[in-house]
Amino acid sequence: RYACYGGRKLSSEWSAPSDPLDILVAGQLPYTPSLSVQPGPTVTSGENVTLLCQSWGSEDSFLLSKEGAADPPLRLRSKRRAGQHQAEFSMSPVTSAHGGTYRCYGSSSASPYLLSPPSDPLELLVSGSPTDPGPSPTGPSSTAGESQGPLSRGFSSSLSEMPGGQRGSRGSEGE
């Protein structure tokens, strides 16, 4: 976790700290999760949608990242079902702002800043728009599992391409 402070020359006073920045390094855990969507990748505005991230590994949480989003990835504690660890990220009701490309990553509480390789990208298409959509949502809600870790508390982080084709974190969301 990183933060920065500002100061003036010849002064012993420092500013308040910046918002914390967590650096995540992807590609460090052995299992690559899969990402699927119910009821399907093309939905109508107002429907309920669930993104399911799952893996055969021993991840105890999953992160869901939306490509190009300014918000940090969402983190959910995983549950074990049918021999796999999984987390359900619910979006209800969806709006056009939920449309986009998503990836999920596995994580372990023993090393929360080390992630699995990303899942294959999943494109969510939302058709139709309500008459008054209201404020744009910041992303999917985490209602199907218990949120944990710094990312679920709104701290800044990001995932980006690292040398050698691995994904890591460099300070701004997107790739």
Say what the pLDDT of residue 167 is: 40
Say what the pLDDT of residue 157 is: 41
Domain positions in the chain? 31-130+138-150
Say what the pLDDT of residue 129 is: 56
Say what the pLDDT of residue 135 is: 45
Say what the pLDDT of residue 114 is: 92
Say what the pLDDT of residue 23 is: 87
Q: Distance of CA 106 to CAs 4, 32, 86, 113, Å?
A: 28, 7, 9, 10
Task: List, run by run, the mean pLDDT of 10-residue segments along the chain (175 residues).
Answer: 87 89 88 96 95 93 94 92 94 93 95 94 86 46 40 36 40 36
- For domain 31-130+138-150, the CATH architecture is Sandwich (2.60)
Q: Could you report the per-residue pLDDT of 141-173, keeping only the tens digit for each?
A: 444 344 433 333 333 344 443 444 444 433 333
**How far apart, in whole angstroms, are the C-alpha atoms of residue 168 and residue 174?**
11
